[in-house]
Structures are given as structure tokens and as C-alpha cells.
Chains A and B, each alone.
Chain A
Amino acid sequence: MKQSPLPLPPQVAVLAICLAFGALATPAAAEDVTVSIDNFTFTPAEVTVTPGTTVTWVNNDDIPHTVVDKKQAFRSKALDTEGKFSFTFTTAGDYSYFCSLHPHMVGKVIVKAGG
């Protein structure tokens, strides 16, 4: 079989890969926020995000939890171990939430325009 020539010099290919990763990573860092649930605690307990941000909660406990907004803006189903729930915040404001199974678990998402 005949070896086909590299379409680009190797250093250019590496650069292209870096750019591709950068293109994926940049919006991810700006938009997505993860709140983990460990030991019956939302961590971080308070996050501040810009409108349009999607927040994802991940349950790392071996007991189910829920994520419920006090003012009903969102309500997850029971998240079993490794279960996830995402909500995209479009409206500025303070969102206090809790676990409806273990209501002593509370957290807050603050949504405000970036500046």
C-alpha cells in the first residue's frame, strides 16, 4: 500500500487540534456549572451565573436526593446515585432551592447579567 503524504506538516496538525479543543472548552467554561451533591450537601452551596447558563446537579451520594426551587421554577425527579438534573437559567434573580427528601439541604443560584 502506498503511503499517502501528510496533508499538513505535523506542527500544524497539533495546532489545529489545540484550536479545536479551545473552541469546545471556551464556551463550556463560560456556560456550564456543576453542583455536586456529596454527604447531603450541595457543593458549592451558592453559585453566581449569567443568564443562559445551564446548571447541572450530580448526586454522588448513595441515597437519592432532589433539587427543588422554593418558588417552583424547577423541580427534579429523585436523583439516584450518579443521577443528574440540569436547568437553564434564563431570567435574572435569586433561586433558593432545597432537597425535598432532606429539606435541611439547601442551596442557591444567583443569576445576573455578566459585568
Chain B
Amino acid sequence: MSRHERPSSETAPRLDADGIDRRGFLECMTWAGTGILWSISGGVASGVGLGRALAAEPQKALTFLQISDSHVGFDKAANPDALGTLREAVARIRTLKEKPAFMIHTGDISHLSKDKEFDDADQIIKEAGIPVFYVPGEHDLLDDGQGKAYLDRYGKGAKGAGWYSYDHGGVHFIALVNVVNLKAGGLGNLGTEQLEWLENDVAGLPSSTPLVVFAHIPLWTVYPEWGWGTADGLEALSYLKRFGSVTVLNGHIHQVMQKVEGNVSFHTARSTAFPQPAPGTAPSPGPLKLPAGELKKNLGIATVNFVRGSEPLAIIDTPLEG
């Protein structure tokens, strides 16, 4: 299934002779149901489907991977074995010819924030053999301490509810938390303390620095009727306006969505646990129960055909099965 919109190739920017788009416009995306491999070169990020990456595409300056919404502990009809599908995702990561520099996990590691769920997730994810950078999803803050268990485990060195930033290969990565202190009737929420931190965090950076921002709930408004957006997301993005290349990576909605606005590219990743319906296509955003045998088709790998030269990239969704 392919419910993401691709930016039309007509609007694709022209590349400089060296193939690097100086405007930092992100064009291509490709998605793997089990993970997304990201390459960044010259400030341009492009997603590489695991299927393609497995075919040993020569790697760029920096490659990293995104997984999301592993919901370890989920055992309902939509996927009775969320741990098993996470294991499959990690097994695929292990077969990559070029090891990604690290992995980001965009939240909902666990289903109910139980120690055993976090333990099981950690056990499997560490088999990928690469560092992991986490942000929490709302399912990771359900312990009695309302997030203490998450912070004890994943929040070393982080600020507030678990936000932080780091640099890798000339790219500045910003990990945000938009799942605490949610307001009745509202969306995801960053809060003033985190917004102030963000403003300061990027204040000293040259505008040419490529930014990758990741958080659990989409920072852009996908579908407010289901709470799929972040109330103060626009304020966060206003601090990033001067940067030539901003990539925003989210999870939460268990399906691929993307949008490009100026220099900002927004993307959401699939879950490794279960799919959710496209906005408004079901009475609720609850887990999508697919007919037997359809789950892994839905989690299937998407690939991108790189057409050599400056031509636009072609996106091909390739299911794991079928």
C-alpha cells in the first residue's frame, strides 16, 4: 500500500553540478515498513528503503536508521506478536551491507511502560549493534512516575522530559518530547521550557547546518480530529526557519506520510508493530486489523530507484510478502 504523497517531480529543485541541492530541499523519500535508512550528504537527506540498501547502494557521508512504534507488549488481534515483528526489523538491519552510524527510535518503544516490555525491547534492539537515540511516545510514560521509568532508562544527559541534541557528521540532531502534559481536547505539546531550550540550542548554529528534528507525534498537523499534530509545533519550527535544510522525522501514526514546505521536510515512519488507518477512513485511529497474511504486506519494504544523474527519484513500494 502506498498512501504517502510524493512531492511532485515538477517541483524538484535543480541540482548543482555535483548533485547537491544547495537549497537543501529534500526530494526523495522511501520507506521500509520495518525501518527507514537515511543518508545525508551535503545537507541533503534522502530516505533509502531497506530493500534498496540491502542491495548495497554505495553509502553517502552519513547513514542512519529510523524505527518507530515498536509497542512491545502489544498482543491484540492486529498483531499478536509485536515483539516478533520488532525482531524481524532488527534482523533486517543486521543484514545491511553498510552499517548505519546509529538508529533513532521515535517512541512508543513499549505498549504499557512495563519494565519487562522495556527489557524485551532493549534486548532485541541492542542486537542491531549500533547506538540508539530515543524519544518517548505517550505509551512510554505510563509508569506510576509518569515517565520516571523512561528517563531512568533512556534519559541520561537529557533535559526536562527527555529532550536533547547532538551532532554527527556535520548534521545537528534535535530530539524533542511532545507527549507530556497533553491538554484536554488538544494535540501533542512541547511546552514553553522545551521551546526556550530549542531556541537556545540552535541560536549559535550557522544557517548552513543541516538539521534533523525528531519527536514522537508529528510536529505538523496531520489530522487534528485524531490528535495527530503538535499544538506548539509551528512555534518550534519558527526557530528553524533560517536553516537551509530541516528534516522532521516522526512516528505515532503508524503509516507513512510526508510533506515538504520550503526547506522543511516532514516524514512519519511506519510502526514495527501494527498499522493504523489513514486519517478519517475508520471510526477511530485504533489498530488496523488486516485479513490474515496482510500484516507483513503492510509492513513491507519500500524502495527507491535512484536514477543516475540529476533526474528525480522513483519510489517503489515493495511489500515484504506478496
Contact = CB atoms under 8 A, between A and B. Distances in A.
Interface in A71-115: 77-78, 80-81, 96-98, 100-104, 106
Given A64-B111, A81-B76, A98-B185, A103 B283 contact: no
Given A62-B77, A70-B184, A96-B184, A101 B138 contact: yes
Contacts of B225: 104
A77 B112 CA distance: 10
B312 interface: no
A56 interface: no
Nearest to B144: A77
Contacts of B185: 98, 103-104, 106
Contact of B284 (A39, A80, A100): A39
Contacts of B77: 62
A102 B188 CA distance: 9
A62 B78 contact: yes
A103 B284 contact: no
A104 B185 CA distance: 4
A24 to B, nearest CB: 34
A41 B184 contact: no
A105 B98 CA distance: 44
Interface in B161-220: 182-187
Contacts of B227: 102-104
B17 to A, nearest CB: 49
A61 B142 contact: no
Contacts, number: 60
A81 B77 CA distance: 12
A63 interface: yes
Given A77-B142, A104-B226, A62 B286 contact: yes
B225 to A, nearest CB: 7
B112 A64 contact: yes
B285 interface: yes
B190 to A, nearest CB: 14
Contacts of A57: none
A53 to B, nearest CB: 22
Interface of B: 76-78, 111-113, 138-139, 142, 144, 182-187, 224-227, 283-287
Interface of A: 39-41, 61-64, 66, 68, 70, 77-78, 80-81, 96-98, 100-104, 106
14 contacts: A39-B284, A39-B286, A62-B76, A63-B287, A66-B142, A70-B184, A78-B142, A80-B112, A100-B182, A102-B226, A103-B186, A103-B187, A103-B227, A104-B227
Given A101-B182, A104-B225, 17 more contacts: A40-B286, A41-B284, A61-B286, A62-B286, A62-B287, A64-B139, A64-B142, A66-B142, A70-B184, A77-B144, A78-B112, A80-B112, A98-B184, A100-B138, A103-B186, A104-B227, A106-B184
